[in-house]
């Protein structure tokens, strides 16, 4: 059996590891660490929950410790890029555990936090900078940080960075880093674009793969329920009541829908919180801390949290809405069965989501076991409104409010509707300031134009 000591890590790092749950290296750690210690560029392919942060973090910190002197003002020795704030926080927390008792300094910059405070921290220089691409570019443009002496670049969750459109940001950032550097790329899936990134930024990389890309952890028991959209909330309630003492993650498609579902669960007596793009950085950090501490049993989230939650106590993942990107299914369910534990993942599939389910099963190269219902017939799928249409449905009803088995009412032609009387106001319309009798949207008092409602 391989141990961390046998991998050649420094005594100070080994001492820090003794106080963690990491006793023996995972397969990705055992394979990647020796190559990184030798200075090779590396492409690591592994599913979520396999220990990728330690796979690149431990050897990176080992090499930095060998330098023996602090970085200069504004300078960075190693840069780690990741796509989301949650993942950045997770990486920073892990690295700080590994560096406890050493002089290595780890700094984090993400959106949604004070630029001034980040600039002050960067002005003192840092050994390791963990950053989201967008916020890092802000600091580079303002001259708050220099990457001219950066010798290490790590791209974590590179496939998700591509999904979020960060390829242009990566090109901008790479121009600031010396070409003579060690570059490490880690990804859970391997689309063609990742190969192109590897060819562009890595030099003769060693390729390490511990499981086929897109394959979820083997200890996750998966299943799918075919159920009308309006019945999903009641089914979720039934599942949550079966495991009242176990933590669960519920994934929704939209920010508004996830928030609405969370409030519904709270009204039913569940200890639930939510994380999505409409929450501030402080709100997201506070909710995650409450979930980690056990104050919350249920966390409702959008895909912003599909990568970046490393909580071993999560036993159940519910795909309340099927993901638009099939790879996100793997990342979602990878939030359970972490660190060798077991977990369950249940997907709820409405008629409008059959295409998403088929895409997921194609990625997995096998069907997901059916727990309830039966695959929707083609005519039902064709008639179903796509996700986002007919919002505001109630429990027990199909989208749009019609009852099960009924047909949606036919729309009246425009010429058949009675014309409003002259000067009459439409029911429910609010007059716009300065336009008596108008039906437009009233301007805000601060003079700003109202923002369109987001999904």
Query: CA-based Rg of the chain, rounded to a whole angstrom?
Result: 25
Strands 42-45 and 182-187 turn out to be parallel
Residue 42 is inside which H or E element, if any? strand 42-45
The Cα 390–Cα 80 span in angstroms is: 42
Q: Between 305 and 20, where is the model more confident? A: 20
Interval 215-225 mean pLDDT: 82
pLDDT higher than 50, residue 395: no
Strand spans (E) along 46-125:
76-81, 106-109
Are 149 and 181 in contact by the 8 Å Cβ rule? The answer is no
Gap between the terminal Cα atoms of the chain:
50
Strand residues in 292-387 grouped as ranges (E):
298-301, 314-319, 343-349, 370-372
Confidence of residue 136 (pLDDT cuts 50, 70, 90): very high
> Is a pLDDT exceeding 80 seen at residue 48?
no
Q: What is the pTM of this model?
A: 0.63
Structure confidence at residue 280 as a pLDDT band (50, 70, 90): confident
Residue 393 predicted with pLDDT over 60: no
Nearest partner of 25 among 210, 263, 238, judged by Cα: 210
CA distance 321 to 259: 13
Tokens, residue 382: 């064709």
Contacts (Cβ under 8 Å, ≥6 apart) of 6: none
Q: Which residues contact 213 (CB under 8 A, 6 or more apart)?
A: 45, 187, 188, 189, 190
Handedness of CA 452, 258, 303, 107 (dihedral sign): positive
11-209 and 220-383 have identical folds: yes
43-47, 150-154, 446-450, range with greatest mean pLDDT: 150-154
Check residue 301 and report its DSSP letter. E
DSSP code for 68: -
pLDDT digits (tens, 9 = 90+) for 411-441: 443 333 344 444 443 333 333 333 333 333 4
Q: Which two tokens stand for residue 188?
A: 């859970």
154 in helix, strand or coil? strand
The answer to whether 299 touches 251, Cβ cutoff 8 Å, is no
In the sheet that 126-131 helps form, which strands lie side by side, from edge to edge? 106-109, 126-131, 76-81, 152-155, 182-187, 42-45, 206-209
Identify the H or E element spanning 118.
Answer: helix 115-123
Rounded mean pLDDT of 237-253? 95
Distance CA 146, CA 151 (A): 12
pLDDT at 451 over 50: no
Q: In the chain, where are the structural domains located? A: 11-209, 220-383
Helices of type H across 322-405: 326-333, 354-364, 378-383
Lowest mean pLDDT among 284-288, 292-296, 441-445: 441-445
Helices (H), 175-296: 192-201, 232-242, 255-267, 281-293
Residues 56-107: tens digit of each pLDDT: 999 999 999 988 788 999 999 999 999 888 889 889 999 999 998 888 999 9
Lowest-confidence region among 175-184, 270-279, 419-428: 419-428
Judged against a pLDDT cut of 90, whether residue 128 lies above it is answered with yes
Give DSSP secondary structure letters for 413-431: PGGGSPPPPTTPPPTT--P
Q: Higher pLDDT residue, 108 or 281?
A: 108
Q: Which single residue is written with the structure tokens 């409010």?
A: 401
Encoding tokens for residue 198? Answer: 């590897």
Positive or negative: CA dihedral 232, 238, 239, 245: positive
The CATH superfamily holding the domain 220-383 is P-loop containing nucleotide triphosphate hydrolases (3.40.50.300)
Element (H, E) at 121: helix 115-123
Q: Report the mean per-residue pLDDT for the chain.
A: 83
Q: For residues 254 and 300, is the Cβ–Cβ distance under 8 A?
A: no
What is the architecture, at CATH level 2, of domain 11-209? 3-Layer(aba) Sandwich (3.40)
How much of the chain, in percent, has pLDDT values that exceed 70? 81
**Rounded distance, CA 293 to CA 289, Å?**
6
Report whether pLDDT(339) > 80: no
């Amino acid at each position: 059996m391989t141990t961390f000591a046998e991998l050649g890590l420094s005594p100070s790092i080994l001492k820090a590891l003794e106080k963690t749950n990491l006793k023996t290296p995972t397969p990705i750690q055992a394979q990647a660490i020796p190559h990184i210690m030798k200075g090779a560029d590396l492409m690591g392919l592994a599913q979520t929950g396999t220990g990728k942060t330690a796979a690149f973090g431990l050897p990176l910190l080992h090499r930095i410790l060998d330098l023996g002197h602090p970085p200069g003002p504004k300078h960075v020795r190693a840069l780690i890029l990741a796509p989301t704030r949650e993942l950045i926080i997770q990486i920073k927390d892990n690295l700080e555990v590994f560096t406890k008792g050493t002089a290595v300094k780890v700094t984090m910059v993400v959106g949604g936090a004070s630029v001034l405070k980040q600039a002050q921290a960067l002005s003192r220089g840092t050994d390791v900078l963990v950053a989201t691409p967008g916020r890092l570019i802000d600091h580079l443009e303002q001259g708050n940080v220099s990457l001219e002496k950066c010798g290490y670049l790590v791209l974590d969750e590179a496939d998700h960075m591509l999904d979020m459109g960060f390829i242009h940001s990566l090109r901008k950032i790479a121009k600031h880093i010396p070409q003579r550097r060690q570059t490490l790329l880690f990804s859970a899936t391997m689309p063609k674009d990742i190969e192109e990134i590897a060819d562009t930024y890595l030099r003769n990389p060693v390729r390490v793969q511990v499981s086929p890309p897109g394959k979820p952890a083997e200890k996750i028991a998966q299943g799918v329920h075919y159920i009308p959209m309006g019945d999903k909330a009641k089914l979720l309630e039934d599942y949550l009541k079966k495991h009242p003492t176990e933590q669960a993650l519920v994934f929704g498609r939209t920010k508004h829908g996830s928030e609405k579902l969370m409030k519904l669960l709270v009204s039913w007596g569940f200890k639930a919180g939510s994380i999505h793009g409409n929450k501030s950085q402080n709100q997201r950090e506070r909710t995650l801390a409450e979930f980690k501490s056990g104050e919350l049993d249920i966390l409702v989230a959008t895909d912003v949290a599909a990568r970046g939650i490393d909580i071993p106590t999560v036993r159940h993942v519910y795909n309340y809405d099927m993901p638009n990107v099939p790879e996100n299914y793997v990342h979602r369910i990878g939030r359970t069965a972490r660190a060798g534990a077991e977990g369950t993942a249940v997907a709820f599939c409405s008629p409008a989501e059959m295409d998403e389910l088929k895409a997921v099963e194609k990625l997995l190269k096998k069907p997901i076991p059916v727990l309830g219902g039966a695959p929707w017939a083609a005519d039902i799928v064709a008639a179903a409104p796509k996700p986002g249409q007919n919002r505001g449905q109630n429990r027990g009803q199909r989208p749009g409010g019609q009852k099960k088995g009924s047909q949606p009412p036919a729309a009246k032609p425009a010429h058949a509707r009675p014309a409003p009387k002259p000067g009459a106001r439409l029911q429910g319309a609010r007059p716009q300031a300065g336009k008596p009798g108008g039906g437009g949207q009233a301007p805000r008092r601060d003079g700003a134009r109202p923002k369109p409602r987001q999904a």
